[in-house]
Structure 1
Amino acid sequence: MMELFWLLLPVAAASGWWAAKRSISRQEVTAAERSPGYFSGLNYLLNEQPDKAIDVFIKMLEVDSDTVETHLALGNLFRRRGEVDRAIRIHQNLIARPMLNREQRAQALLELGRDYMKAGLFDRAESLFNELGEMNMFQAQALENLLTIYQQEKDWEKCLQVAKRLEQRTGISRRRECAHYYCELAEEAQLRKDLVKTTKLLKKAHLSDESCVRATILQGRIEAMNGSPKSAIRTLRQVEKQDSAYLSEVLPEIIDCYRELGNRAELVKYLRKLYERHHSISSVLALTDFIQEDEGDEAALRFLSGYLHAHPHLEGLNRMVGLSLKSGHTDGWGSLQILQQVLTKLLDHRAAYQCVSCGFTAKTLHWQCPSCKSWSSIKPRDGLDEICPRLPPQIDQNPTLARHNP
């Protein structure tokens, strides 16, 4: 109640001021008759009847050139507080007044559309934003809101249309968003088993944004499923150039394709180069497997422990504990088993992905952040950066790692 009191107090003050101003211009009005509505509104407010208080204050603030901004501000305050019904009522009352000029009406329509969006009434909001487009008023804001609506409704064709109009209107590139809309349509076509349509849409995605990792991953997976491992390897390896943060997403599939071709030597060579360029945990764990196969548990353990000294990582630590148990290190056997159980639980519950824009964390990869709605901003989390700062690289100083480097 007190929060609402402080919210409505400025409105009551404005209403009192307006009533006083009006009464001064009408000298025949007695002091007792100057602003009876003002005291009535305060009485409703103090008696915890905010809806009646709002009605009184709105009636007192007759819509004219001096009070339109006050109505708009009051409605926006209610919307931000989550009291959408009140915001809608205020903005509807404003629009119903015939004396508004063209710009004031457009502003009220925009705010009412935002109210409807907040309430989840997308069809009504869409109608108002389209009306603003026909009026050629507040077009950029209206298009931004339409884009949000169509993304919510997953109407990707309309998203493409609106994004291109926005690009023309504002001069701000929407190529990244458009690439993702094409990818969304490609995934829908893939579900329908329309391979020709899927391929065309992925090409459009790459034409829109040549650095679109998502389109590359989708294309590589299609090639792998269609029995073309060489093409899949060639496509998926492009991810490193586009955004190396996503290497961990495609490396298992690249490894599977190399194994399908029976080209183990080429695979190990690729992994070593990958490790040398990025020191990523995904390449390190893959190399650990091959060192274990070729040289045994002890060599794999030395390699992995040397890496973890410079690059702390929960998944790497969990693998190291497993190797220690397997290699027959009986000292502290029970403690190692407990440590592995704890690490496994930590890995099961950790958020493997994080939005670089707003910090949102997730267990699975989202191409659009559910929090800030940015595209391509959620990436795999690397190491223990969220727990402790990364240590300076010490790869070259470690004799074990030096021995296994190409």
Structure 2
Amino acid sequence: MSFLLWLLLPVAAASGWLVAQHQKRRKPISSHLSPDYLKGLNYWLREEPDKAIDIFIKLIDVNNETFETHLALGVLFRRRGEVNQAIHIHQNIIKIPTLDPQKRNLALFELAHDYQNAGLFDRAEDVFKNLLIVENYQIPALSQLLKIYEQEQEWEKAIKVAQKLAKLSGKKMPIAQYYCEQAENYREQGNTNRVQQLIQKALDTDPFCVRASIIEASLALENNDYRQAIVAFKRVEKQDHKYIIEIIDDLHDCYHAIGQIDQFQVYLQAILNRYDEITPILSFVKIIQQQLGRQQAIDFVSKQMLERPSLCSINSFLALSKADNTLLHNTITQLLNNKAFYKCNNCGFTARKLYWHCPSCKKWNTMKSIQGIDGD
């Protein structure tokens, strides 16, 4: 609030000066300040900024000279959540017949932001589209349109806008994720052919799209095509090994279904040699216990606890051990049940489930499994 008052200090000073000049031209009087100005100042001193703002805005006509002041006030209102006031101010600016074209475009851009914050996406979309013909606003307008289409889950529009934005900005856009969103929707509808087409588009757009491989593998599993599922699941390691934990259990089931657990064991050993993730290790523990017995599994976990300490490995050891450790085992299990397993590399948001689109910063494909002693 104090920041708002200091920001409005130039407005009050300017309004007082303008009123004084106006009064001088009309007739000489002892006071240079109008009753409205004094009333606004009184509101200000009483820390009633909303009423003071209304009066100061009325005292200063909107024109090219006062453009920056009114524009700043509109932006300030929007940031405070008073979107209706922001819309009103920016609309008043646009109505000035003599307003410089560049200033008008800036006011339009801020007005579109107002509409967007107010949830009036159709109005915001129209204004941003109109600004696409202005060279300086092409990239900013496309960026905002993309946010609108993501929020409304209009993936076809998002794809077209993202493709244009990629060409103009030279930046990589999450187009493959949009194809995956469409694929998920068609999968719910049971349209397998369309899902496969969209998966291929996603992989053609981004060969490192882990999500597309997981969808493809899951679709193959639904059709009992275990060999194709294995191909898609194993592709994940090459795309981003941080996501191995998402597919390792399903991959085990696939190898088990075709009677080739020994091949899965070879694959797991290669994974253990290359990476530090604990989940593949725990899968290896299950195989060792089934084939060689509990003691061999305990020995293996004990070694891994020293090399890759984590709560998961400790809990696995306690589950295998015959010693009376029920209390400790239950305590660690409870800790694991309550902890976050994923963290956004962009904003730090944590969650227990994997989000392809971070709920906090709205970035795509930034959620990764947490590593370390309390992570994977």
TM range, normalised to the smaller chain?
over 0.9
Tell me the residue number matched to 1:270. 267
Is the 1:281–1:383 contact (alpha carbons within 8 Å) kept by the matching residues of 2?
A: no
Shift of 1:102: 1.5
Taking the aligned partners of 1:115 and 1:152, their CA distance within structure 2 comes to 16
Once residues 280 and 274 of structure 2 are traced to their aligned partners in structure 1, the CA distance between those partners, rounded to angstroms, is 10
**Secondary structure of the residue that 2:68 maps to in structure 1?**
helix
Distance in 2 (alpha carbons) for counterparts of 1:209 and 1:190: 20
Q: Please tell me the residue identity of whatever aligns with 2:355.
A: H
Does the CA-based 8 Å contact 2:268-2:284 persist in structure 1? Answer: yes
The equivalent of 1:236 in structure 2 is 233
Q: Is 1:185 aligned to residue 182 of structure 2? A: yes
SS at match of 1:64: coil
CA 1:368–1:172: 2 relative to 1, 3 Å? same
* Alignment-derived partner of residue 126 in structure 2: 127
Deviation at 1:25, TM superposition (A): 8.2
Q: Is the 8 A contact 1:12 1:57 kept in 2?
A: no
Q: CA deviation at 1:37?
A: 3.4
1:304 matched to 2:286? The reply is no
Of residues 10, 22, 26 in structure 2, which corresponds to 1:13?
10
**Alignment RMSD:** 2.1
Counterpart residue number, 1:108: 107
Task: Look up the equivalent residue of 2:243 and give its one-letter code.
Answer: Y
1:382 corresponds to: 371
What is the rounded CA distance, in whole Å, between the counterparts of 2:168 and 2:23 in structure 1?
Answer: 49
Q: Is the 8 A contact 1:114 1:125 kept in 2?
A: yes
State how far apart, in whole Å, the 1-side matches of 2:210 and 2:308 are: 26
Question: For residue 195 of structure 1, what is the aligned residue in structure 2?
Answer: 192
**Equivalence for 1:402:** none
Between the aligned partners of 1:295 and 1:6, the Cα distance in structure 2 is: 70
CA distance in structure 2 between the partners assigned to 1:340 and 1:160 by the alignment: 48
Among 208, 212, 218, the alignment partner of 1:211 is 208
2:339 maps to 350
Supply the AA of the counterpart residue of 2:310.
H
What are the superposed Cα offsets for residues 231-268 of structure 1, whole Å, 9 maximum, x if unpaired? 11112101111100000001111111100100121111
Matches within 5 A, 1:314-329: 314-324=311-321, 328-329=322-323
Is 1:253 aligned with 2:250?
yes
* 2:281 corresponding residue in structure 1: 284
**How far is 1:351 from its partner?**
0.8
Deviates more, 1:354-363 or 1:226-235: 226-235
> In 2, are the aligned partners of 1:352 and 1:361 still within 8 Å (CA)?
yes
The answer to whether the 8 Å contact 1:15/1:61 transfers is no
| Secondary structure of 2:372 counterpart | coil
1:156 aligns with 155
Which 10-residue stretch deviates more, 24-33 or 218-227?
Answer: 24-33
Q: 2:145 corresponds to which residue?
A: 146
**Residues paired across the two proteins, number:** 374
Out of 321, 326, 331, the residue aligned to residue 337 of structure 1 is 326
Task: Give the 3-state SS of the residue equivalent to 1:90 in structure 2.
Answer: helix
Q: Are residues 1:171 and 2:160 paired?
A: no
Superposed CA deviations along residues 79-118 of structure 1, whole A, max 9, x for unmatched, are 2233323322322222232232211111111111112222
How far off is 1:134 after superposition? Answer: 4.7
Q: Deviations over 1:297-321 (max 9, x none)?
A: 2221121121112222222211111
Structure 1-normalised TM-score?
0.86
**CA distance in structure 2 between the aligned counterparts of 1:68 and 1:315, rounded to whole angstroms:** 61
CA drift of 1:137 comes to 5.6
| Pairwise CA distance, 1:385 | 6.0
Q: Any idea what SS the aligned residue of 1:117 has?
A: helix
Q: Quote the residue 1:45 is aligned against.
A: 44
For 2:310 and 2:89, locate their aligned partners in 1 and report how far apart those are by CA, in whole Å.
55
Question: Which residue matches 1:62?
Answer: 61
> Structure 1 CA distance, aligned partners of 2:286 and 2:148?
47
The share of aligned pairs that are identical, in percent, is 40
Q: Which residue matches 1:89?
A: 88
Task: Please state whether the residue corresponding to 1:379 is helix, strand or coil.
Answer: strand
SS of the equivalent of 2:368 reads strand
Between the aligned partners of 2:308 and 2:82, the Cα distance in structure 1 is 49
After superposition, the C-alpha distances for 1:335-391 in whole angstroms (9 at most, x for unaligned) are x211111111111111111111111101111101111111110011223267xxx9x
Q: List gaps (5 residues or longer) in structure 1.
A: 391-406
Within 2, Cα distance between the matches of 1:300 and 1:367? 35
**1:99 aligns to what?**
98
Residue 138 of structure 1: SS of its match in structure 2? helix
In structure 1, what is the Cα distance between the partners aligned to 2:337 and 2:331?
10
User: Within 1, Cα distance between the matches of 2:70 and 2:84?
Assistant: 15
TM-score normalised over the length of structure 2: 0.93
The answer to whether the aligner puts 1:221 opposite 2:218 as a matched pair is yes
Q: 2: distance between equivalents of 1:235 and 1:249?
A: 13
Return the offset for 1:290. Answer: 1.5
Retained in 1: the 8 A contact 2:344–2:366? yes
**Partner SS state of residue 354, structure 1:** strand
| Structure 1, 17-26 or 133-142: larger mean CA deviation | 17-26
